[in-house]
Amino acid sequence: MGSLQGLGLLVSLLVCGLSAWSAPAGVAAETPLEAFEGWMRRNGKSYKNVTEKLYRLGVFRKNLKYVEEFLHGRPRSYTIGLNSFADLTNAEFRAIYSRPMENRTRATAFRHAGVTPPSSVDWRQKGAVNAVKNQGQCGSCWSFSAVASIEGINQITTGNLLSLSEQELIDCDYSNTGCDGGFVEYAFQFVVSNGGITTEANYPYYGLQYNCDYTALSSNAVSILGYEDVPRCDEQSLMKAVAIQPVSVAIEASGSDFQLYTGGIYNGPCGTNLDHAVNIVGYGTDDSTGTDYWIVRNSWGATWGDQGYILMAKDVSDPQGTCGIALQPSYPIMN
């Protein structure tokens, strides 16, 4: 088939047979192709050729149907929608953004045991949380989680909110495996052993693993004394820790509802096969429903979720917490 004939056929396939598709509320007057092209513009997406665009349209169409069925189903405490991951199948999403994380436990002291936590905390409002970052397609969530916790305790201790270097950990922390995954606790230990960590400005993020820049490595901006684990399966202890500082946690974040989450308090499908590291930066209670929640900062950019955040149900019946959030919490120590 000639290239022009093939192009014409593919374009016809993009248009024909799609107009009868029913879109979710808000895009009902659009065909899937129109909705897709609008979504592409909003998310800055482009594809290398019409074949790839046709494939991504098919994926988008399936996610559109999934969102429509969700919206027409039983009431939920959270919403999903056509966010920046709407052109990925769930299998593709898992392959890019999740990495199996060993469910580890380590017996440590817990210095916050005697804390009486307030009813709500939001470290964003206290100036201890940077703008949401984006790990891209590098499996470096562990570095983003570790860095955010160090940034938080440093601001709480010194009053200075610095943006620190995830790339330093990816390139130089050989106890972890760069873009192929890692553990937050190993990252904390690397920062201890190295005598600190440098700034993002001094060692910027590239989203790929390179050789360690030893010159930048020696320019430490923040140091920590060590780290501790929160007692596992204990959301009350976790609440005490978050009352004092942002905390690193691991969760299972690879389900379709998590992929397409756009807002509300998440209590949807997930298990405890930990595959993603994030940060709890606060907690609170929904005024209208009385539902308790954790404020969780992700590293998938501000176009995912609620401006890069997700609220996750707190104090649930399962002691492991929503999506395993209470299984592996840890935090750095400065003093």
- For the segment 46-84, what is each residue's pLDDT rounded down to a tens digit? 999 999 999 999 999 999 999 999 999 999 999 999 999
Q: How far apart are CA 297 and CA 305, in angstroms?
A: 10
Structural domain for 247, as ranges: 97-333
Judge whether 84 lies within some domain. Answer: no
Nearest to 186 by CA among 198, 197, 175, 170: 175
| Residue 112 falls in the annotated catalytic set | no
Q: Is residue 239 part of a domain?
A: yes
Please indicate, yes or no, if residue 259 is contained in any of the structural domains: yes
What integer pLDDT is reported at residue 101 of this predicted model? Answer: 85
User: Which residues, 6 or more positions from 36, have their beta carbon under 8 angstroms from its beta carbon?
Assistant: 56, 57, 60, 61
Residues in the chain predicted with pLDDT less than 50, given as ranges, are 1-27
Of 172, 270, 298, 323, the catalytic one is: 298
Is residue 210 located within the same domain as residue 323? yes
Catalytic status, residue 72 = no
116 and 252 share one domain: yes
Flag whether 81 is in a domain.
no
Kindly provide the residue ranges of all beta strands, DSSP E only, lying in the chain, ordered along the sequence: 78-80, 121-122, 226-229, 247-251, 261-266, 276-285, 292-297, 309-313, 330-333
- Say if CB 231 and CB 237 are below 8 A apart: yes
Please identify, among 11, 40, 75, the residue that sits at the C-terminal boundary of a domain. Answer: 75
- The residue type found at 63 is N
192 assigned to some structural domain: yes
> Is there a single domain that holds both residue 140 and residue 38?
no
Same domain flag for 40 and 148: no
- Is the pTM for the entire model greater than 0.75? yes
Per DSSP bridges, beta strands 261-266 and 276-285 are unpaired
What is the pLDDT, as a whole number, of residue 175? 96
| pLDDT for residue 104 | 66
**Residues 243 and 276 grouped into a single domain:** yes
Work out how many domains the chain is built from and give that number: 2
45 and 130 assigned to the same domain: no
Whether 155 is covered by a domain: the verdict is yes
Q: Residues 141, 172, 270, 323: which is the catalytic one?
A: 141
**Which of 267, 276, 279, 323 is flagged as catalytic?**
276
Are 55 and 169 part of one and the same domain? Answer: no
Asked if 267 and 253 count as a contact pair (C-beta separation under 8 A), the reply is no
Quick check: is 206 in a domain?
yes
Residues 131, 99: Cα–Cα separation, whole Å: 24
